[in-house]
Structures are given as C-alpha cells and as structure tokens.
C-alpha cells in the first residue's frame, strides 16, 4: 500500500454548474431554487408595490375597501390521495392564501387544464369535491375556464384557482411586521399532507393511516383576529414546510427566530414515516396549518382562541422572534444543543400540491 | 417514538457528555468515517457540546462524494440515450459531472427515475421490456447486498434489459489509505454501524493493530455517537487500540452471513478510483465475470469527457479530515447546495452540506 499512496491533495471538483440552462423540477419545490427563479427572473419584470409585498396574496386598496387577491396552481400527483384530492386542495389552498392576508374570502375563479383521456368520472369527482370545499368555506366560484391538451401533454388535470377577499378594518398582516419578542404559534401537528402524498407515490407505497390535513383555515383565522386584531404575521407553511416559511419571514422582517424541537407538534406516525424516509418534518408540506406571529402579550389569547376552534385543538407556541442573527432560524434540540434550520434546498419530493 | 426517543434522551445525553468531559485529559482527534454520522453530529449539534480538546474530523464515508467523475460522466451519457431508463437514488442526480448533472439530463428529456430500492429498478425493467433499464449502484458495503439481490433477481427472471453501473466502495481500504497518508492526524475511528451490520468487524482488527488506533463500531443516534466517542476516548486515554462494538444491538462480529453471501456471489473486489483521491487498491466492488451481461460498464461503450477541476474546492482535504468545510473560501459563497462546486455539498451525507445546513453561524 505504501508505494501506491493515494493522492488526497489532488481532490478537487469538476466545473461548477452555476446556472441551470433549463428549468428543473426543483425550481418548483418552494425552496431556494424557487426563490431564485422568482427573485431573479420574474420579480424584476413586474416590479410593483402589490407584488413586492411578497405575501401569500396581494393586498390592494380600491376606494374604501382593502382587498386581498391571490392565485395558485395545483399539479399534485396523484390526483386522489388519503384525506383529499386536487379539487379540494385547489379551493382550500387559495382560500387559505386569502386568509393569510387576514381577509374574508368571497369569490374564486377556477381554470382546469385537462389531459385527453382523463376518465370523466374522475373529473366529476374532482369538480364535485371543489363544489363541496367552496360550499363549506362559504366562497362562491364565479368564473372559470376549461382547456383540454393532448394525451401525454398534461398529467390528468391541473387546476388553477384565484380568489378575492375583503380585509376587515384594523387588520394589517405583513411578514415584515415580525418583531423581536414576538411569539410564534402553530395550530397543530405538522407534515401530514406531504407524508400522505408520499405514502401513495409509485415506488414508495407504504401502509399508513396518515391523511392530508387539507382544510380551509379562514374560520380559525377569524377567531384569532377577533381576540387580537393586531396579529403581525400569518402564513401557511405549504411547500418547503415550517422551516422554509419561517426562513422567508425571518428574511423579510430582518429578524432572527428560535424554535424549540420539543414544542413542535408532530404525530407519532408522521415522525415514524419521516425517520423511515429520511425526511425532516420541518420541511414537509402542510395544507391545513397556519403559523401566526403575534406580540408577546397577544400570545395567550390567540393560543386560547386557536385551541377553542376545531382546527386548533393542538395549537402550540413553538418559538419566539429574536433580535440576534437577522434572517436566521435556529432550533433548540431535544438534547439541548442549538442548530440552524435552513430553508429547503431543492425539493424533498416534487409535485406535492 | 420507540427505538428512537431513548437514543435522543436529554438526560442520557447530558450524562454521557459529563463523562466525556471528565475523562478527556489531552487533545484527541477522532474521525467518524460515515457521512450519516457526520450529519447526525452536526444536525444535533453534538460537536458544539464536546470538550474543546476533542476534535471530530469527518471522513470520506459519503459514497456520493467519492464516486469518480468518470463514472458520473458515464452515467450522464447512458441516461441521455433514448432507449434507456436510468434509475438512481435521488442524491446522485445533483452531483455535477464534467458538463451536466443527471437533473439536467432529466430536464432535457432523459428518462431518469428516482428509486428507493434496486428491486424497484428490476420492476421497471420487467414492466418496460422495450427499454434498457440501468441502475446506478452507489454505496458502501451497506447497499451492496440489495444491489446484489437485484442482479440475482434479474438473472432469475432472465431479464435481458437490466444492468447496474457499479460504483461501490469499501470502508476498510479507505481507513488503511487514510492512516498511511503522511498528513494523517486521526488517532481514533468511529466505524460505520450500518456497514458493519452487513460485513461484521473482523476486518478492522488487523487495521487497529497495524496502525495502533482504536476503532469503535458506532450507531447513528446522538446517544450512540456519544457512547462511541466515549469508548474511543477511554481507549486513547489508556493507550489501548482495539476494535470495540458500541452498536451491539445491531452489529454482530461476523456481520450478516446471508447478505455477505449475496455480495460474494455477484461482486468481486476490484481496485477503485475515488473521486479526486485516486485509485485505492482493492477498495471497490465490480460485477463478477459471470454476471457480465448485467454490467452497464461493459454493456454501454460510452466515451466520456475529462475536464479540469476548479482549484478553489478543497473537497479532497475535507474528505481526508485535514480541513473543515467552512475553511473553504468558496463555502456558502460560490458553493451552496443549490450550486455545488463539489460533491460533499450535494449529498445528504456530504460534510459540506451538513455544515451548510445546520451550522453556518457557528463556523462562519
């Protein structure tokens, strides 16, 4: 061995692939590549005050009214998954984006891009499920569009929904409003939607009772705003999970955050699936969760309001906003150490919503 | 969660830390070979809780990181062929080749599938008789049995359209190479529990004796790792150099005979090139000649392009444990998980990625 000494000094790397010439699936993952795409390619083209809020929806003033306006596309695969389907997800998702602006959702539009060959029965189930979701959320689907593309050019059906809601007087939700000393709350156990989707993916099927948490959150938010109209930030941690959402807010507000591993609710079965798959629940998508950042004195009343609502019975204060290390989220682990919780890089699994 | 929580127990961790602090009287340098352990150490912040006299250095135990550029280029070339379905574990897709990574091949229309088991790749071959299915068999001894089983399964089914591109690497020759290096400063090793679950630890005994270093077979949870570190420190403090087994709940001295048998049937030990490090004799697995028809390396004659590598990246020193990821001037600047310069920034087991993800502020 001695005369065949391997040369560790020679180790170096190939030419960097600093920019991708094509769009990768990871550009849609909700993590850093998505942000790069938006900030470097899209935002500069359209720069305006509405867009630059970089919130779940735009907040616009028309006459005396303040409106929230949001749009979202849904490409989840498979179309039907434990706990929901693409139709229900598309309605709840946009309703939630409006709710995260503090708005009362009123009207939705919907566009369906359907692949030739989709069983009509499937389409009917999806449309029916959209109707049920809209009815239960109390929103009206008032306009829409339908297109069909060649077989192989879509994947069953893609759904886009847009929504409009009214922001009540006195409510001013903005990610930049997070202040040192604020409390960080969440309404219940995380990572259910992502794991439910993974459990039915090809090549990954495992037996589980985990269901997606897809649900409309505006009722819960209304209850929270009733006790504390001055809530600073609301955000639903969808793609990229709680970790990416907190990083976004920390970056926008220029604050640090500390969360506590032992206080973050995660169901046992979800934890088990995450261990098995090598995922960190902090990065797994949610579709029925809201992160609220509130002044310290509002933490107790908001927590009580959340717990009084059926969608918040397991609500918890999971951390606090700090002045140290602006833009950085850290976690106190269960064993007493501290580590950085970074934004999701690339994707854990594509096409989750 | 049972079988997890008790190995992340706050009180047990604190007790172990106290013991390590009390028992460490001199500076020691310990290497954890396995990238999985590196990630656990950094993710749980264990390195920040240890005595300052103890230096943990991170070893070359990330198969993604040490897969040679020539093989990545070959994978990229094969995956670009129109009649090929290329199956791989997800990490490999983002490792930069000379010109492209596999993700870009996928975006360009290549049929690349992320699989979680090599047997899924066999199923792909079965379902797509008109396609040639190639599985990128990357990993240490841990993944070799499943990959061997996949080849045996394909043989049983007489699948003519299934091949594997083997990039298997072996741990003991890497330890020997590290310890033979004049620049070596590692005084004790945590051996990788999963590798030893398959192979046992008999082959480490002559290494411990020859190089007079303690080697402790260690698991992956915080309690495991701290116990492994404590056992290594105790040996160092008392001048012992033995092979001990911290991970006895999983690892037996002889390993898993059925798994070893599957490996022996399909693979033979060959010289293997480690990315950038060079060839380490008898440090990898290639397919035996009788399984030649399942060997993608033989079945696909693809030319690859050699390139110069950027000088800034210090991955070689990082993999050897000579320098830490944050000591690289590209770390977190030109080199991030989104735009990696080197493989250790890509893989979920790469030490650069672990540092970037979990401890940027601690280390600069």
Q: How many angstroms separate the CA atoms of A300 and A263, rounded?
A: 15
Cross-chain CB nearest to A36 (options B101, B103, B338): B338
- The predicted structure's pLDDT at residue B4: 77
CA-CA-CA-CA torsion for B132, B299, B66, B274, nearest 10 degrees? 180
- Decide: A57 and A104 in contact? Cβ < 8 Å: no
- Sheet holding A58-62: strands in order across? A58-62, A65-74, A157-166, A104-115, A140-149
pLDDT of residue B99: 79
A86-99 helix and A120-137 helix, angle to the nearest 10 degrees: 30
By C-alpha distance, the chain B residue nearest A27 is B338
Question: What is d(CA B167, CA B63) in angstroms, rounded to the nearest whole number?
Answer: 8
Whether A340 sits inside 8 A of B335 (CB atoms) is no
pLDDT single digits (tens) A230-271: 999 999 999 889 999 999 999 999 999 999 999 999 999 999
Same domain for B38 and B19: yes
Q: Return the H-helix or E-strand segment holding B113.
A: strand B111-114
Examine residue A78 and say whether the peptide bond preceding it is cis (omega within 30 degrees of 0). Answer: yes
Question: Are A10 and B337 inside 8 Å of each other by CB?
Answer: no
Q: What is the per-residue pLDDT for B7?
A: 86
Last residue of a domain, one of B271, B289, B308: B308
Per the prediction, chain A carries an average pLDDT of 89
Q: Do residue B4 and residue A333 have CB atoms under 8 angstroms apart? A: no
Query: Which domains, from first to last, does chain A contain?
Result: 56-166 (3.30.1330.10), 175-340 (3.90.650.10)
In whole angstroms, what is the distance from residue B300 CA to residue A255 CA?
54
* Residue B16: closest C-alpha in chain A: A335
Q: Could you say which of B310, B315, B361 has the minimum Cβ distance to residue A328?
A: B361
Residues of A in contact with B315 (CB under 8 A): 11-13
Burial (0-12, 13-18, 19+ Cβ within 10 Å), B119: middle
Considering the domain architecture, whether residues B329 and B262 belong to the same structural domain is answered as no
User: Residue B276's pLDDT is what?
Assistant: 62
Confidence of residue A293 (pLDDT cuts 50, 70, 90): very high
The answer to whether the pTM exceeds 0.95 is no
Inter-chain residue contact B316 with A32, CB threshold 8 Å = no
CA distances from B347 to B70, B80, B119, B334 (A): 18, 22, 22, 17
Chain B residues within 8 A of A13 when measuring between CB atoms: 96, 276, 309-310, 313, 315, 341-343
Question: What mean pLDDT do residues B340-358 have?
Answer: 76
Please provide residue A132's backbone torsions phi and psi, each rounded to the nearest 5 degrees. Answer: -65, -40
- Say if residue B237 is in the same domain as residue B320: no
Residues B56 and B192 grouped into a single domain = yes
- Are the beta carbons of B107 and A20 separated by less than 8 Å? yes
pLDDT class of A348 with cuts at 50, 70, 90: low
Quick check: B358 and A342 CB within 8 A? yes
B312 Cα to chain A: minimum distance (Å)? 8
Q: Report yes or no: B145 and B263 within 8 Å, Cβ to Cβ.
A: yes
**Per-residue model confidence (pLDDT) at position B348:** 62
Chain B partners within 8 Å of A1 (Cβ): 176-177, 180, 281
Chain A CB contacts of B1 below 8 Å: 268, 271-272, 275
Q: Which of B10, B108, B309 sits opposite A12 (nearest CB)?
A: B309
Cβ <8 Å between A339 and B359: yes
Q: Are residues B267 and B239 in the same domain?
A: yes
Per-residue pLDDT tens for B100-123?
889 889 988 999 998 888 999 999
The chain B residue lying nearest A266, using CA atoms, is B1
| Contact assessment for residue B264 and residue B278, using Cβ atoms and an 8 Å cutoff | no
Better-predicted residue by pLDDT, B325 or A5: B325
Q: Which residues of A311-334 are buried (b: 16+ CB within 10 A; e: fewer)?
A: bbeebbbbbbbbeebeebbbbbbb
Q: Which of B286, B308, B330 is the last residue of a domain?
A: B308
* Interface contact B342-A12, CB threshold 8 A: yes
Rounded to an integer, the average pLDDT of B63-77 is: 86
Question: Which chain B residues are within 8 Å of A35, Cβ to Cβ?
Answer: none
Binned at pLDDT 50, 70 and 90, residue A17 comes out as: very low
Helix, coil or strand: residue A111: strand
Nearest to B177 among A6, A32, A330 (CB): A6
CA distance B95 to chain A (A): 10
- H helices of A199-240, in order, are 218-227
Specify whether B218 is located in the same domain as B121: yes
Contacts of B49 in chain A (CB under 8 A): 336-337
Distance between CA atoms of residues B96 and B76, nearest Å: 10
Residue A308 has pLDDT above 80, yes or no: yes
Residues B345 and B266 in one domain: no
Best of B338, B340, B351 to disrupt the A interface (most A CBs within 10 Å) is: B338
Smallest CA–CA separation between A68 and chain B, in Å? 33
User: Are residues B31 and B142 both part of a single domain?
Assistant: yes
- Answer whether residue B309 shows pLDDT above 70: no
Q: Which residue of A has its CA nearest to B17?
A: A335
Residues of chain A neighbouring B44 (CB-CB closer than 8 A):
333, 335, 337, 339
Number of H helices and number of E strands within chain A? 10, 14
pLDDT score for A346: 54
Q: Check whether residue B229 and residue B341 sit in a common domain.
A: no
Structural domains in chain B (count): 2
Q: How close A130 comes to chain B (CA, Å)?
A: 32
**Domain termination residue (choose one: B308, B332, B353):** B308
Question: Which stretches within chain B are classed as H helix?
Answer: 10-23, 35-43, 46-49, 63-66, 69-79, 102-107, 118-127, 144-156, 171-180, 193-199, 205-211, 222-237, 257-266, 296-299, 315-320, 351-358, 360-363
Of A144-153, B133-142, B325-334, the one with minimum mean pLDDT is B325-334
Measured in whole angstroms, the distance separating CA B10 from the mean position of its chain's CA atoms is: 29
The answer on B284 and B226 residing in a single domain is yes
Q: Which residue of B has its CA nearest to A36?
A: B338
Looking at CA atoms only, how far is residue A266 from chain B in angstroms?
11
Backbone angles phi, psi at B50, to 5 degrees: -85, 160
* Domain encompassing residue B261: 1-308
B169 and B236, same domain (yes or no) = yes
Note the pLDDT of residue B28.
Answer: 97
* Residue B28, strand partner residues: B54
Give the CATH number for residue B32: 3.40.50.11740
Residue A112: name the closest of A130, A132, A138 by CA: A130
CB contact under 8 A, B107 and A9: no
Q: Do A337 and B313 touch (CB under 8 A)?
A: no
B304 and B320: one domain?
Answer: no
- CA-based nearest residue to B288, from B185, B148, B153, B191: B148
């Amino acid at each position: 061995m001695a005369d065949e000494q391997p040369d560790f000094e020679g180790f170096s790397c190939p030419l960097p692939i600093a920019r991708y010439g094509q769009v990768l699936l990871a550009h849609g993952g909700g993590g850093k590549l998505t942000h790069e795409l938006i900030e470097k390619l899209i935002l500069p083209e359209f720069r305006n005050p509405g867009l630059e809020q970089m919130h779940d929806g735009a907040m616009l003033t028309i006459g005396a009214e303040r409106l929230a306006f949001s749009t979202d596309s849904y490409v989840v695969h498979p179309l039907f998954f434990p706990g929901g389907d693409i139709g229900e997800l598309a309605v709840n998702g946009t309703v939630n984006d409006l709710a995260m602006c503090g708005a009362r959702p009123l009207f939705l539009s919907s566009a369906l891009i359907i692949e030739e060959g989709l069983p009509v029965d499937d389409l009917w189930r999806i449309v029916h499920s959209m109707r049920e979701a809209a009815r239960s959320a109390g929103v009206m689907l008032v306009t829409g569009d339908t297109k069909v593309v060649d077989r192989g050019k879509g994947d069953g059906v893609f759904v886009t929904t847009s929504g409009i809601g009214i922001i009540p007087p006195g409510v001013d939700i903005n990610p930049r409003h997070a202040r040192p000393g604020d409390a960080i709350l969440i309404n219940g156990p995380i990572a259910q939607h992502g794991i439910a989707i993974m459990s039915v993916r090809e090549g990954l099927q495992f037996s589980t009772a985990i269901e997606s948490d897809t649900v409309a959150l505006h009722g819960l938010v209304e209850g929270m705003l009733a006790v504390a109209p001055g809530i600073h930030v609301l955000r639903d941690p969808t793609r990229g999970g709680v970790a990416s959402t907190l990083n976004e807010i920390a970056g926008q507000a220029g604050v640090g955050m500390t969360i506590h591993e032992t206080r973050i609710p995660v169901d046992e079965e979800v934890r088990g699936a995450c261990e098995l798959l090598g995922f960190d629940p902090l990065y797994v998508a949610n579709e029925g969760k809201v992160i609220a950042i509130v002044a310290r004195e509002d933490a107790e009343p908001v927590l009580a309001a959340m717990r009084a609502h059926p969608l918040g019975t397991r609500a918890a204060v999971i951390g606090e906003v700090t002045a140290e290390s602006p833009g950085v989220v850290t976690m106190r682990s269960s064993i007493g150490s501290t580590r950085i919780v970074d934004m999701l890089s690339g994707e854990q699994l594509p096409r989750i919503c | 969660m049972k079988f997890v929580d008790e190995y992340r127990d706050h009180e047990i961790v604190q007790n172990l830390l106290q013991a390590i602090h009390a028992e460490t009287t001199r500076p020691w340098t310990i290497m954890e070979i396995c990238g999985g352990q590196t990630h656990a150490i950094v993710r749980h912040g264990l390195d920040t809780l240890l005595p300052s006299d103890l230096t943990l250095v991170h070893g070359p135990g990330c198969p993604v990181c040490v897969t040679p550029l020539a093989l990545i280029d070959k994978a990229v070339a094969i995956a670009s062929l129109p009649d090929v379905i290329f199956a791989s574990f997800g990490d490999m897709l983002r490792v930069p080749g000379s010109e492209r990574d596999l993700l870009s091949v996928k975006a360009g229309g290549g049929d690349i599938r992320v699989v979680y088991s090599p047997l899924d790749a066999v199923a792909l071959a079965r379902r797509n008789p008109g396609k040639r299915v190639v599985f990128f068999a990357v990993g240490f001894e841990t993944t070799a049995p499943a990959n061997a089983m996949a080849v045996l399964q394909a043989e049983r089914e007489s699948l003519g359209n299934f091949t594997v591109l083997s990039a298997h690497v072996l741990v003991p020759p890497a330890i020997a190479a590290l310890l033979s290096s004049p620049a070596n400063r590692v005084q004790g090793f945590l051996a990788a529990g999963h590798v030893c679950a398959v192979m046992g630890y008999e082959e480490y005994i002559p290494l411990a004796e020859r190089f007079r270093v303690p080697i402790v077979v260690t698991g992956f949870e915080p309690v495991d790792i701290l116990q492994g570190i404590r056992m290594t420190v105790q040996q160092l403090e008392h001048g012992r150099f033995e092979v001990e087994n911290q991970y006895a709940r999983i690892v037996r001295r002889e390993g898993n005979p059925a798994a070893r048998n599957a490996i022996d049937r399909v693979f033979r030990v060959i010289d293997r090139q480690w990315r950038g490090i060079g060839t380490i004799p008898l440090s990898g697995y290639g397919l035996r000649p009788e399984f030649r028809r399942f060997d993608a390396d033989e079945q696909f004659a693809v030319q690859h392009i050699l390139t110069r590598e950027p000088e800034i990246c210090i991955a070689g020193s990082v993999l050897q444990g000579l320098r830490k990821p944050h000591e690289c001037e590209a770390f977190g600047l030109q080199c991030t998980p989104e735009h990696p310069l080197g493989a250790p920034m890509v893989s979920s087991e790469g030490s650069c990625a672990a540092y970037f993800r979990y401890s940027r502020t601690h280390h600069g």
